[in-house]
Amino acid sequence: TRADRDAEAAMRRLIESRHPDHGIVGEEFGAERADAEHVWVLDPIDGTGAFICGLPLWGVLIGLRIGGAPALGMLAQPYLGERFLGWADEAWRERGGMRSRLHVRPCAALGEAILSTTSPRMFGDEEARGYRAVERDARLVRYGYDCYAYAMLASGFIDCVVEASLKAYDIDPLIPIVRGAGGHVANWEGGSAAGGGRVVAAGDERVLRAALERLRP
């Protein structure tokens, strides 16, 4: 949408004016200096479909890679007046002038977990078989939340998020938020999710391990 393009252009102008040696990777205008030590990762509207439909579950994602690794992340939902921040071992939610610390919740088993994915249609045939195996064992499943599902996982309301075909700007800003709240983010092979691809996030490591077992062919 025009809002996507205009928002990213504004962010790029601010970054370039203050940090001209930093790199930028964005959804709308691609990559500049992507091999720099500091690289900003921008998704001006993650969940454009929700935005078009007037649903307040999209978000503005801004991340910072340092030395190639996601180090700082922010999800902002302007309509709800919320901002989620994460770095190192801290994550916070800001709303109405108040800031509260985020913590994932314990969940002993996948059978007790609330699972989310943006859409089951995002998976290819082989991926869909793995996803359905996770979904069959979950206690409750919700669709359609895009980046907001990761914020709810970091807030202790959702236990697991499984997705595929993500780009770097879809996930890199969210990794520090989930990890800062004590959660886990990996690709379906159990390695780093940085850069996108097939991603699973969980608040409890036990749920992560269970999901990975079902996602592997």
pLDDT digit string (tens) for 180-208? 999 999 999 999 999 999 999 999 999 99
Give the whole-angstrom CA distance, residue 109 versus residue 204: 9
Q: Is the pLDDT of residue 42 over 90?
A: yes
Could you report the per-residue pLDDT of 21-31, keeping only the tens digit for each?
Answer: 999 999 999 99
pLDDT of residue 197: 97
Could you report the per-residue pLDDT of 101-150, keeping only the tens digit for each?
Answer: 999 999 999 999 999 999 999 999 999 999 999 999 999 999 999 999 99
pLDDT of residue 217: 74
pTM of the shown model: 0.96
* Other CB atoms within 10 A of residue 212 CB: 19
Reading the block at residue 19, the tokens are: 């940090």
Per DSSP (E only), the strands in the chain are 23-26, 30-32, 38-46, 59-66, 69-77, 82-87, 90-95, 98-101, 114-117, 140-143, 160-167, 184-187, 196-202
Could you report the per-residue pLDDT of 158-169, keeping only the tens digit for each?
Answer: 999 999 999 999
